[in-house]
Amino acid sequence: MEKSFNDRGLRMYFVRQSNSPAQCFTKAFQSCQEKLIMPKMVDESECDKLQVDRKSVFVFETFQGKFFERLLKLNAPCAVLGAPCILECLSKGEPTPESSYPIFSLAMRGLRVCVSGFKLSQKDELGRKVRFMGGIFEKNLSTVVTHLVTESTNTDKYQCAIEIKIPVMLENWVHETWEANQKKHQSALDEPYISLRCPPFQGLTITSSQFTKAKKDKIKSIIEQNGGQYCPSMTSTDTDVLIVSTATGEKYRAAVQWNIPCLTENWISDSAKAGYSLNYAAYEVKVKPGTSTPERNDATQLGDLSCVSAIAHQPPQKNKINETMMSTVSCATNMSFAEPRPPEKREPPRTPEKEPDAAMKIMKLPITEIRKAGLFLDGCKIYVSEGMPCIQDKLRKMLNSSGATRFDDISEGLTHVLQAGKSLRPLEAHALARLSRKPPVVPLNWLLRSFELKHAAETSGQQLATEPPSPLSKRGMQMFKSPQKLLTISPKTAKNDLAVMQEYLNDNLPPSASQAEPNTENHGNEGEEEEELALPLLVFGKLKFQLKGLNKSESAELRTTLESMGGTVVSKDADYIIGPFRVQAAAPNQVTEYWVQECSEQGEVLPINYYHRPILFRPRKPLDGTVITISTYTGRERSYLSTLATEMGAKYQEIFAKKATPARGALASTHLICPSPEGTKFVAASKWQLPAVTKDWLLQCHASNSRLSEEPFLLSGPAAPSPSASVLSTSATSIQREDQVCSTCDNGRIIFNKCEWLIWEIRSIDYVLLYNNYYFQPPILLVFFFSCFWGIFCFLKSLLIFETPKKSISCSFSP
C-alpha cells in the first residue's frame, strides 16, 4: 500500500472531526506514518482550503459531517476512505480499493447485495451502507447476487432467491455489521452477523381454522418462533396465509374471495424444518372432485345455479366429473333425453351499472387536472390489458402521474388488472389464472372513480359484468325431482343429434347470453375455479424451442405456453432460443418472451424484430448524464427502448421537460426519441432546440458501446426559430399580397386565403401558436393582429370612405 501511495504521488489527509478521535482513527494515522506514507492531520474546518483532485485521499473517522456530505454530493474525484479500511489494507499489504463511492470498511468486499420488500427510504439507506462497506448494491435479483436482504418472505425476489440458493438475510445484518465496523474491522460473513438469516415466516401474518385449541397453540408457537405473527382473526388486508385442513368453512370461503392462500398444516412444519418458506403451490388445499349427477339431497346446492341460458355456454370445470354424460354416451343400446318444456320467462341477467363512454371521459381529462389529483393510486401495482390502442398512451400517463406502479406483464404482486378493452386476451387470461393470489380485474370506470375520490376506489361492485347466480324457482326444482317422459333415440344418431342440438342452442340463444362474459361465479363445490374455454391455436406447430438462462418459474411458465401453442421444448438443436431480457451474448435465433406474446396475439409466427431480441450487457455506460423521453412508440417496443436507454446509463422519464422540476420529479430532458417529426413533444423539442432522433440512434449507440453523434439520426421537420423582427417583416410583406389579405370575417374569426392556421394548442403553462411553421408568442401575436387590421382599415379607407385623389395610401404593418 505504501509503495502504491509513494509511486503515484498521492496526498493523504486525515480529517479530524472531534477533539478526541477514536482509537481506530488514531491507530490508522500512526500506522501510515510507520509505513512512510506521510499523512497530514487536518481539522474539518480547514478542509475547504485543500485541493480536491484525483490524487487526494481523505480519511474520515465517521462518514458524516459537512465536508463529507459536500464531497458525497459533488461526487468529487478524490478517494474517500474510513479508518477501518486503511487498517485492513495495511495489515494485508493490499492497495486501497479504487471506487468512485466512499468506502468506510471492507466488511462486505466481494459481496453483491439485493433488497426486497422495503420502502424507498429504507432501500436507499441499506444501499448506502452496503457501498460504504465495500459491497456492490444490485437493484435487480440475478445469479450474480450473493445475498438478498428482505423484511418479508412473501415477495417474488424471496422465492427466486430460494430457488437459486441465494442466502436471504434480515435487515439487521446490514445495520449491525455497519455499527460494529465503526470501532474495528468486522467481516459481514463472520459470526454473529452471518447468523442473521431470514426466518421462514418473516413478515407474514398467519391464521388457522378447523383445528383444536391444542393444535392451534402448536401452530402458533412454530410461527412465532420462526419470525411470523399468528392472529386468531382473519382480515382481507392483514392476513397473508390461512392454514386449514379441508376446503370448507366460513374462513375458507372468505379467504378464497379475498385471494388469500389456503394451505395445509404441513407447510408450517416443513418450512420450519427447511429453514425457509416453501412454495405455496405444493401445499394448497385441494377441492375434492364432485359429480354433475343431481342427487336428492343436493337440492339446496342446485338452487344456486345460474339461469339455464348461461349453462349451455359454461366451460367444463376442471374438478368436475360428468358421470351422467359419460354413462349416457357409453350406453350401447339407446339414449334418452327429457322432453323439452316450454322455456320459462326469466328476467335477463343483471349486470353492474356501467357509466357510458369511460374511455372517452379518460381521453378528455386534461393532464393538468390529473396531476392536481396527486398520488391517488400510490401503492397500487397495476397491469393494463392490451386493447383500445387510442387510449393506451393516456392511461400510461395517468397511471404514472397517480403514483401507481405499472407492470408490463401479469405476475405475482399485482393489486389490480385494468381492463382497457372489451375482454382480456387469451394469453392474459391464462397468465392471470396461474397466479396464486389473483388480483381483481377492474374496468376503466374504476380508474375514473379513483380519480374523483383522490384515492383507490373499492373493487367491490366494480368487477366486470358477469352473470350473477339466480336461484331456480320451486317449479324448476321440481323439474329435477319429478319423473320425466323420455324420448328414445337410436345409438347411431346420438352423436349427430348432440351436434345438431349444440348448434341449435348456439344459434337461438339471446344475444345477452351469447355475448356475456365468462361467468366467474363458482357453482357446486366451494373454492373451485373455472377456466376460460378456448380452442388451442397451434401457432408453433412443429417448431422446437430451447429455454436458456431462465429461472425455474419462468421456464415452467414458458414451457406451458409454448406447448399449448403446439411447440416442443428441447435441450439442443432448437429453431428458437428463448432467454431473459439481459444477456452476456445472444445467438442469432435467440428471442425474449415479447416475441412469444406477439406471436400468440397475431396467431402466426412473426419475423424477429429488434425489440424481440435480448439486450446485451455492456460494462460501459455511454449515455451517462443524458435524460431521454420517448414519444409515439408504444407497447413492448416502448418498454424495450426505455430499458435499453437505462442499460446504457441514461435517465428515462415520461415527462418531456425543458427545465428540471423537482416538484414533479422531472429532470431537464436532453433527447427525444420518436419515429417521425410529429406530435406535441416533437414541436416542443424543435422549439427548445433539443435533438429529436429515431430509435436507430439508441440501437447504434448500444451496438458500438459509445455515444454517437445525433446528426445522422436527427428528424427533419418544422423548425422553431426564436421570434424576431425579420419574421414579422416577412409575415407583413406576404400579407400585403392581394391573394393573402384577409377576405372575410365570419363571427369574429379571421379566414385567410392560401394561409392556414395549423395548430392552436393551449397549455396551462406555455401558449404556442404555430402559423406556417413559425412560432409566435402572445405579445407578438398582438402586434401581428394589429398590423392586419390596420392594413384592412387603410385599404377600405382608400376605396370606400375617404376621397384621396392622386394619392397613394402607405400602410405600415409594424406597430
In 3D, which of 471, 520, 480 has the Cα closest to residue 304?
471
Give the count of beta carbons closer than 10 Å to the beta carbon of residue 134: 23
Asked whether residue 341 carries a pLDDT value surpassing 80, the answer given is: no
Most confident of 112-126, 488-502, 545-559, 705-719: 112-126
Asked whether residue 497 carries a pLDDT value surpassing 50, the answer given is: no
Q: Is residue 425 part of a domain?
A: yes
pTM confidence score: 0.41
C-alpha cell at 550: 431462465
User: Same structural domain for residues 386 and 447?
Assistant: yes
Q: Is residue 642 part of a domain?
A: yes
Dist CA 551 CA 538 (whole Å):
25
Strands (E) across 84-141 are located at 112-116, 136-138
pLDDT tier at 390, thresholds 50, 70, 90:
low
Asked whether residue 262 carries a pLDDT value surpassing 70, the answer given is: yes
In 3D, which of 242, 233, 200 has the Cα closest to residue 437?
242
Last residue of a domain, which of 402, 433, 453?
453
Dist CA 782 CA 776 (whole Å):
10
Q: What proportion of the chain, given as a percentage, has pLDDT over 70?
A: 70
User: How many structural domains comprise the chain?
Assistant: 7
User: Same structural domain for residues 381 and 445?
Assistant: yes
Top pLDDT among 70 and 796 is at: 70
* Lookup result for grid cell 350401447: 332
Asked whether residue 587 carries a pLDDT value surpassing 90, the answer given is: no
Residues 641-654 have pLDDT tens digits of: 999 999 899 999 98
Q: Which residues contact 571 (CB under 8 A, 6 or more apart)?
A: 546
Dist CA 607 CA 81 (whole Å):
53
The DSSP code sequence of 296-323 is GGGHHHHTT---HHHHTTPPPPTTEE-H
Q: Can you give the pLDDT at residue 171?
A: 92
Across-strand partners of 284? 263
Asked whether residue 354 carries a pLDDT value surpassing 50, the answer given is: no
Q: Is residue 535 part of a domain?
A: no
Q: Is residue 34 part of a domain?
A: yes
User: Same structural domain for residues 653 and 709?
Assistant: yes
Asked whether residue 786 carries a pLDDT value surpassing 50, the answer given is: yes
Last residue of a domain, which of 24, 58, 92?
92
Q: Can you give the pLDDT at residue 339?
A: 40
Q: Is residue 559 part of a domain?
A: yes
Q: Can you give the pLDDT at residue 4?
A: 55
Q: Crossing angle, helix 552-564 and helix 426-433, to 10 degrees?
A: 140
Q: Are 675 and 694 in contact (CB under 8 A)?
A: yes
Q: Report the DSSP pairing between strands 168-169 and 147-150.
A: parallel
User: Same structural domain for residues 644 and 592?
Assistant: no
User: Same structural domain for residues 365 and 447?
Assistant: yes
Most confident of 26-40, 308-322, 698-712, 769-783: 698-712
Structure letter (DSSP) for residue 153: S
pLDDT tier at 757, thresholds 50, 70, 90:
very low
Give the count of beta carbons closer than 10 Å to the beta carbon of residue 363: 12
Q: Can you give the pLDDT at residue 613?
A: 93
User: Same structural domain for residues 708 and 637?
Assistant: yes
Q: Can you give the pLDDT at residue 793?
A: 78
Q: Is residue 302 part of a domain?
A: no
User: Same structural domain for residues 687 and 734?
Assistant: no
Reduced 3-state DSSP string for 465-517 = CCCCCCCCCHHHHHHHHCCCCEEEECHHHHHHHHHHHHHHHHHHCCHHHHCCC
Q: What is the domain range of residue 270?
A: 205-283
Residues 275-297, mean pLDDT to the nearest whole number: 71
User: Same structural domain for residues 45 and 26?
Assistant: yes
Q: Can you give the pLDDT at residue 290?
A: 52
Asked whether residue 764 carries a pLDDT value surpassing 60, the answer given is: no
pLDDT tier at 141, thresholds 50, 70, 90:
confident
User: Same structural domain for residues 737 and 705?
Assistant: no
Q: Can you give the pLDDT at residue 8?
A: 65
pLDDT tier at 491, thresholds 50, 70, 90:
very low
Q: What proportion of the chain, given as a percentage, has pLDDT over 90?
A: 21
Helix/strand/coil for 740: helix
Residues 522-569 have pLDDT tens digits of: 333 333 333 333 334 578 888 999 998 888 878 888 888 888 888 899
User: Same structural domain for residues 75 and 123?
Assistant: no
Burial code (b: 16+ CB inside 10 Å, e: under 16) for 146-163 equals bbbbbbbbbbebbbbbbe
Q: Can you give the pLDDT at residue 532?
A: 33
Q: Can you give the pLDDT at residue 184?
A: 80
Q: Is residue 297 part of a domain?
A: no
Give whole-number Cα distances, 811 to 285, 661, 773, 788, 797, in Å. Answer: 90, 46, 26, 10, 11
Helix (H) or strand (E) holding 791, with range, is: helix 778-796
Q: Can you give the pLDDT at residue 725?
A: 34
Q: Can you give the pLDDT at residue 709?
A: 93
Q: Can you give the pLDDT at residue 717?
A: 62
Residues 216-224, mean pLDDT to the nearest whole number: 93
Helix/strand/coil for 40: strand
C-alpha cell at 53: 483532485
Residues 776-793, mean pLDDT to the nearest whole number: 68
Dist CA 639 CA 605 (whole Å):
22
Q: The CATH number of the domain where 171 resides is what?
A: 3.40.50.10190
Last residue of a domain, which of 453, 479, 511?
453
C-alpha cell at 656: 418531456
Q: Can you give the pLDDT at residue 115?
A: 92
Top pLDDT among 411 and 29 is at: 29
Q: Is residue 267 part of a domain?
A: yes
Residues 797-812 have pLDDT tens digits of: 666 644 444 443 333 3
Q: Are 147 and 113 in contact (CB under 8 A)?
A: yes
Q: Can you give the pLDDT at residue 800?
A: 60
Longest CA–CA separation in the chain, Å: 118
In 3D, which of 386, 380, 382 has the Cα closest to residue 411?
382
Dist CA 581 CA 591 (whole Å):
9
Asked whether residue 43 carries a pLDDT value surpassing 80, the answer given is: yes
Q: Which residues contact 589 (CB under 8 A, 6 or more apart)?
A: 574, 575, 576, 577, 608
In whole numbers, what is the pLDDT of the chain averaged over residues? 73
In degrees, rounded to 5, the angle at the alpha carbon of residue 31 between the alpha carbons of residues 25 and 37 is 110
Asked whether residue 6 carries a pLDDT value surpassing 60, the answer given is: no
User: Same structural domain for residues 362 and 447?
Assistant: yes
Give whole-number Cα distances, 248 to 240, 253, 291, 317, in Å. Answer: 18, 7, 17, 19
User: Among 135-144, 182-191, 479-488, 708-717, whose mean pLDDT is lowest?
Assistant: 479-488
User: Same structural domain for residues 223 and 273?
Assistant: yes
